Amino acid sequence: MTSTTAIVTGAGQGFGLALTTALAARGGTVVVCARDARRLHAATAGLPGVLALPGDVTDAGFRAELVAAAGERLDLLVHNAGELGPSPLPGLARYPLDALRGVLETTVLAPLALTQLALPLLRAAGGTVVALSSDAAVEAYEGWGGYGAAKAALDQIVAVLGVEEPVVRAYAFDPGDMRTAMHQRAFPGEDISDRPDPATVVPAFLRLLDERPTRGRYRASDLAPAGTAP
């Protein structure tokens, strides 16, 4: 069986780390990145086949480094890195535009640029692109206008990619609420211990990879095995 290679962005903690751990257990090579070098190396130390590259996906040179690290084959590209924006979440009437530019740069432009670089390898492998989405991309929640707009744009990019690149599977994956540092920043001072651990959502993501359904947007709750909750 041919060994697989994946790139996962934003893998230093949360869902990105949980997914990296699961992919590493399956074998192959997993190239991962995050901005915090110390956290990334500590989190991924000892995981077989994981190559940790600290860096920022908004940097063009670093994006090229990520793709180069994949070598001659790339089966999976996961856009997990994102930017919440200001915390507490501001309403659109007073949303700082510079902050919104940062959200869009990390959540929309960087994933598109990285995909553009990776497409030759993905085409050759008949690979898969998955972008982490959010219900804020399709629902109107007070305070979530900036983040939600960015995720909606990313969803649309992935949808169009799936039409334009017929040999590449392209999905938006909505994991639902999770107990992550970003989610905590969205609700400062609140107890989010009732949210699911990211590791419990990973099986739904793996099912998406294994079953390779028609391109589109999928929720973890729709992919979870019967009788389980993501």
Residue 196, classified by CB atoms within 10 Å of its CB into exposed (0-12), middle (13-18) or buried (19+), is middle
- Cα torsion angle, 42, 43, 46, 50, sign: negative
- 227 φψ region: left (φ > 0), alpha (ψ -120 to 50), beta (else): left
Asked whether the beta carbons of 110 and 63 are under 8 A apart, the reply is yes
Asked whether the beta carbons of 32 and 50 are under 8 A apart, the reply is yes
With vertex at residue 145, the alpha carbon angle to CA 139 and CA 148, rounded to the nearest 5 degrees, is: 55
Asked whether the beta carbons of 98 and 116 are under 8 A apart, the reply is no
147 is catalytic: yes
Asked whether the beta carbons of 106 and 84 are under 8 A apart, the reply is no
C-alpha 8: how far from chain center: 7
Catalytic residue among 95, 141, 147, 218: 147
Asked whether the beta carbons of 107 and 82 are under 8 A apart, the reply is yes
Positions annotated as catalytic residues are 147
